[in-house]
A and B are shown apart, each in its own frame.
Chain A
């Protein structure tokens, strides 16, 4: 069970009571405005108390919140989007949506990992876990973007690359390695944003970027907290402890120099103001693209090299 959803239950109840009182106050002779104000104050206070500072594990749950804006929500907020499909070899992996787009008037190539919204959609999209075909689509469209001189915008949100039989048969490792190699080479700016879960190598495959942005309550980790806990203590129940150890929050990653910019979320999380959050992310991407726009390509590639070259130097 999502711990954020659990915590929200009390708040939702309170929201309902406030709405009820409001409705009744209109057709009742007594003045309920004092009660309403008191409840509203209490509501705001609880909101601050429970969401003012989130533990790493709570952030993991926020990143996985069922109502959190997902890839397709960001794509829907673009000026125009024309989806391009397939890896040209085997199939179209719906866990990655990609294509030509205009973002605040700029022509871009956009690629988003997509978890899906309702259950049927989630199944179709393999819950956002891309197969080799998805990474090969990323590779193909990265090359196309380089060919056309289009900047690349990626949105990262996956619990990890698909670990199934077919994915291994189609060389998942090679697909991710090739996507990374292509992003290393591509002579056009790349801006990556972690909007939810950044699950290990499957997330990084869209993250070798000139600028890496992260939404405040997103997470980005070498291993899932459940997986790490299972390895370390033999029980995935200690996931909350593992989450704290892994240093997977946006604050940690900014401190490590892995993330360049953190976009604040509304109190209570991105889903409390989805359109506002999406808009501020697109603004940040737009600003990052503008910042990279006048960098000569050889310098851009040198800086890309240097950016990752220094991470973790001992």
Chain B
């Protein structure tokens, strides 16, 4: 385990999990957790992708070190929201459950030797919903990546804007959009990786504003939730509706990638994005020769 993750997680949290068995929600197969972790949380029986913890996904993608930014940002309770329980209580519960301070982890590291900015959302925290802190962290990530002139990769998993923060949450769609546009205008490369599920305000903002949009196989992706659509049209939707494969067929995304191939795919994309230095003069700002010889570039 890389040092940053050891520090971030603490040793005992890992020890607790280590001996557990878990059931595949798709096929019911009992899976031994350490084995499941080794197989990148893909069921060995049916190939179902478990929703990954943000730290596990970062570990899967990043070479070694990962320096987090914005980790100290904690949401307030601007609406003083109460439904069945007060919002701060829900946050506390999710912090405990997910071992995360919010629904996205952002930072810097390298993938296959390419320095990148990486944001990974986690469905375990309020269903990956975007509130003020998620929006702020994403904006900070793009701003910092723009300054450093490094490509940015965001792995999305979200039910949309966070209701408990009302319009302040919705406005994060505008905030993240502006940050993405500035980043891209600076001549930088943005890849989004859509994972299960990506819907609502996140899909309708930064998730679909990338230069290249990759989706993890079988991920559910769309704007409206499946239930909302079914209620509106009063009929059941076909099983493949809103899957990554469905979106690929409709032309909405660039590629569908199996989880074990994701890292290698990203490395190839990062390599293409280095372009030909001979033609870089038109792009303002980006360092053309920063990653000439990445360690894992394809032959």
Given contacts A168-B242, A177-B208, A312-B172, contact A258 B223 (CB under 8 A): no
Determine which residue in A220, A221, A228, A312 has the highest number of CB atoms from chain B within 10 A of its CB, and name it.
A312
Interface size on A, residues (CB 8 A): 50
Which residues of chain A are within 8 angstroms of B224 by Cβ–Cβ distance? 161, 163, 167-168, 172
Cα separation A93 to B203 with both chains bound (whole Å): 21
SS class, residues of chain B in contact with chain A: helix
Contact in complex: B167, A177 (CB < 8 Å): no
Determine which residue in B79, B84, B166 has the highest number of CB atoms from chain A within 10 A of its CB, and name it.
B166
Contact in complex: B229, A312 (CB < 8 Å): no
Which residues of chain B are within 8 angstroms of A140 by Cβ–Cβ distance? none
**Cβ proximity bits B155-171 to A, threshold 8 Å, 1 near / 0 not:** 00000111101111111
Residue in chain A with minimal CB distance to B181: A184
Residue in chain B with minimal CB distance to A241: B83
Residue in chain A with minimal CB distance to B168: A312
Interface size on B, residues (CB 8 A): 63
Contact in complex: A312, B171 (CB < 8 Å): yes
Cα separation A48 to B248 with both chains bound (whole Å): 57
Contact in complex: A208, B177 (CB < 8 Å): yes
Q: Which of B1-9, B15-23, B129-137 lies on the face that meets chain A?
A: B129-137
Contact in complex: A174, B185 (CB < 8 Å): no
Contact in complex: A165, B237 (CB < 8 Å): yes
Q: Is A1 an interface residue (CB 8 A)?
A: no
Given contacts A168-B229, A222-B161, contact A177 B203 (CB under 8 A): yes
Which residues of chain A are within 8 angstroms of B135 by Cβ–Cβ distance? 312
The 10 A-B residue pairs with the shortest CB-CB distance, nearest first, are: A312-B132, A163-B224, A173-B203, A177-B208, A172-B223, A312-B168, A176-B204, A171-B252, A173-B223, A232-B83
Contact in complex: B203, A308 (CB < 8 Å): no
Contact in complex: A248, B250 (CB < 8 Å): no
Cα separation A304 to B182 with both chains bound (whole Å): 12
Q: Is B107 an interface residue (CB 8 A)?
A: no
Residue in chain B with minimal CB distance to A246: B166
Which residues of chain A are within 8 angstroms of B73 by Cβ–Cβ distance? 314
Q: Which one of A164, A172, A181, A228 lies within 8 Å of B233 (CB-CB)?
A: A164
Contact in complex: B250, A221 (CB < 8 Å): no
Cα separation A163 to B242 with both chains bound (whole Å): 12
Cα separation A168 to B200 with both chains bound (whole Å): 11
Q: Which one of B78, B161, B175 lies within 8 Å of A200 (CB-CB)?
A: B161
Contact in complex: B201, A247 (CB < 8 Å): no
Q: How far is the CB of A237 from chain B (nearest CB, A)?
A: 15
Which residues of chain A are within 8 angstroms of B167 by Cβ–Cβ distance? 220-222, 246-248, 252-253, 256, 258
Which residues of chain A are within 8 angstroms of B79 by Cβ–Cβ distance? 245-247
Contact in complex: B201, A200 (CB < 8 Å): yes
Q: Is A169 an interface residue (CB 8 A)?
A: yes
Q: Which one of A164, A177, A222, A245 lies within 8 Å of B204 (CB-CB)?
A: A177
Given contacts A163-B228, A172-B224, A176-B223, contact A314 B207 (CB under 8 A): no
Q: Is A309 an interface residue (CB 8 A)?
A: yes
**Cβ proximity bits A194-218 to B, threshold 8 Å, 1 near / 0 not:** 0000001100110110000000000
Residue in chain B with minimal CB distance to A207: B174
Q: Which one of A163, A223, A304, A311 lies within 8 Å of B171 (CB-CB)?
A: A311
Q: Is B205 an interface residue (CB 8 A)?
A: yes
Q: Which one of A173, A207, A304 lies within 8 Å of B207 (CB-CB)?
A: A173
Q: How far is the CB of A95 from chain B (nearest CB, A)?
A: 15
Contact in complex: B175, A309 (CB < 8 Å): yes
Cα separation A232 to B166 with both chains bound (whole Å): 14
Q: 10 more A-B contacts (CB under 8 A) besides A163-B223, A201-B223, A222-B170?
A: A173-B207, A173-B223, A185-B181, A200-B161, A201-B160, A205-B204, A231-B163, A248-B167, A258-B167, A311-B175
Contact in complex: A223, B163 (CB < 8 Å): yes
Q: Which one of B81, B82, B133, B175 lies within 8 Å of A314 (CB-CB)?
A: B133
Which residues of chain B are within 8 angstroms of A72 by Cβ–Cβ distance? none
Cα separation A178 to B162 with both chains bound (whole Å): 21
Contact in complex: A177, B177 (CB < 8 Å): yes
Q: Is B153 an interface residue (CB 8 A)?
A: no
Q: How far is the CB of A251 from chain B (nearest CB, A)?
A: 12
Q: How far is the CB of A174 from chain B (nearest CB, A)?
A: 4
Cα separation A208 to B204 with both chains bound (whole Å): 13
Residue in chain B with minimal CB distance to A312: B132
Cα separation A314 to B134 with both chains bound (whole Å): 11
Q: Is B106 an interface residue (CB 8 A)?
A: no
8 A Cβ contacts from B61-96 to A: 73-76, 78-79, 81-84
Cα separation A181 to B160 with both chains bound (whole Å): 18
Contact in complex: A201, B132 (CB < 8 Å): no
Q: Is B103 an interface residue (CB 8 A)?
A: no
Residue in chain B with minimal CB distance to A174: B208
Contact in complex: B228, A201 (CB < 8 Å): no
